[in-house]
Chain A
């Protein structure tokens, strides 16, 4: 299996600078040709991460059913949400289960800017400058046993503060899961902020997971528990509709969701004349993650 050391991965900031530089060279030409051809999907346009989604859109257009099912609900209903005090418990197949306060986490791991594409299963996408660090750093803090094959994430359950949890829309508390090698992959991020600021409540404050190559719902928000387990855990969406949501839920333009075509996506940019763009395998991160799934039938393990 191909292994990538963390040091081999270009830090996002440098990555963006390089891209900006490269882009600036041909900016006039490319932007002119892009705007004059309003056709669907320029295959080259969607690996470009330089055009960040507006802060306003990232923080007012959210799927976070704990605060309501409309896209604007999380922003409207989460402003009073208390994120202090906050503890994250890491338990399960570990030598030493621990409780970490958010302050401890923020001081022991330095967050860096990581610009990733977020692809929602509903067929839209954003480019978000997250602040965070690799989950592997956090997991290395506990010595997990060799029996730990999967990781389960659990969102806080607090129906008094989260009005969405007062209805049985999903199986509360929200749970999600990853295979251990997915969880240890350097791209799998513990998010602590965005746009250089602390994480807004509607985006999963104080701490969320972000897995760039999977559909957005795989990235659980407001995490209180990380459990290392032997068997593949269930997730809230798998329980709700196993036919529609699989455990892996890797972004894959070739496998349609029963309701949404996954071949293309609409970038969230407030522009009604902006074309759809082609969705890329593993959301554009195939070089980094495809080896995790070599030999697997992705139609079966969707």
Chain B
């Protein structure tokens, strides 16, 4: 059963990729194609980070465990779209012009935030397997808490690049903060429960 659900989530997660490939194929990207691809992959990275963060609260709210089994895949899709985003910027836009790119990373704070967020995703993607989970033991959890920092960096990246109208990035920020607060509260409750059991 879970297997089929996973397959469905996997296929659904491919939709943003299919949309952008269709747009490329049918030459439907509009006046500024590179920006269109950059924005598309950037937005979906943030959304997948949010999906990933939502699984644990969803499990607690609905009392259904299945959500957790999607988490790794969703996290890997966040990394996948983040990498496409990076490749669009470094490859398509800047033709791997390393001097221009490194200058951007140093001097433009939104690029710095975005680059850092992507960079921090790498160790999470590398240690996402069950094997690594067992190998790293309790360190795994600590390491993977980075996802909150990464999400916030991602939104800051968005806030800093917007020229004037902050509505969109602020919506992302609010959702991520709510998820973070939920997380802290659940943890507190769990701690309380744990304490009660001990006493």
In the complex, residue of chain A having the shortest beta-carbon distance to the beta carbon of B97: A40
In the complex, residue of chain A having the shortest beta-carbon distance to the beta carbon of B161: A259
At the interface, is chain A mostly helix, strand, loop or mixed?
Answer: loop
Stretch at the interface among B4-12, B101-109, B116-124: B101-109
Cα–Cα distance between A38 and B165 once the two chains are bound (Å): 35
Chain B residues contacting A170 (CB-CB under 8 Å) are 164
With contacts A258-B108, A270-B32, A273-B92 known, what are 7 further pairs, Cβ within 8 A?
A40-B95, A61-B32, A122-B163, A259-B110, A266-B35, A268-B31, A270-B30
Contact B29 A69 (CB under 8 A): no
Return 20 A-B CB contacts under 8 Å, by A number.
Answer: A39-B95, A40-B95, A40-B97, A40-B100, A56-B31, A57-B31, A65-B164, A69-B165, A124-B35, A258-B108, A258-B109, A259-B160, A261-B100, A261-B108, A266-B32, A268-B31, A270-B29, A270-B32, A272-B37, A276-B93
The interface bits of chain B over 157-169 (1 if a CB of A lies within 8 angstroms of the residue's CB, else 0) are: 0001101110000
Chain A residues contacting B100 (CB-CB under 8 Å) are 40, 261, 263-264
Total chain B interface residues with beta-carbon distance under 8 A:
27
B24 within 8 A of A: yes
B34 within 8 A of A: yes
Given A40-B95, A276-B93, answer yes or no on A240-B33 (Cβ-Cβ < 8 Å).
no
Total chain A interface residues with beta-carbon distance under 8 A:
31
Given A272-B24, A272-B37, A276-B94, answer yes or no on A69-B30 (Cβ-Cβ < 8 Å).
no
Chain B residues contacting A169 (CB-CB under 8 Å) are 164-165
Cα–Cα distance between A266 and B88 once the two chains are bound (Å): 14
Contact A261 B103 (CB under 8 A): yes
A104 within 8 A of B: no
Contact B92 A272 (CB under 8 A): yes
Chain A residues contacting B97 (CB-CB under 8 Å) are 40
Question: Smallest CB–CB gap between B91 and chain A, Å?
Answer: 11
Chain B residues contacting A261 (CB-CB under 8 Å) are 100, 103-104, 107-108
A288 within 8 A of B: no
The interface bits of chain A over 231-271 (1 if a CB of B lies within 8 angstroms of the residue's CB, else 0) are: 00000000010000000000000001011110110101111
Question: Smallest CB–CB gap between B69 and chain A, Å?
Answer: 37
A87 within 8 A of B: no
A97 within 8 A of B: no
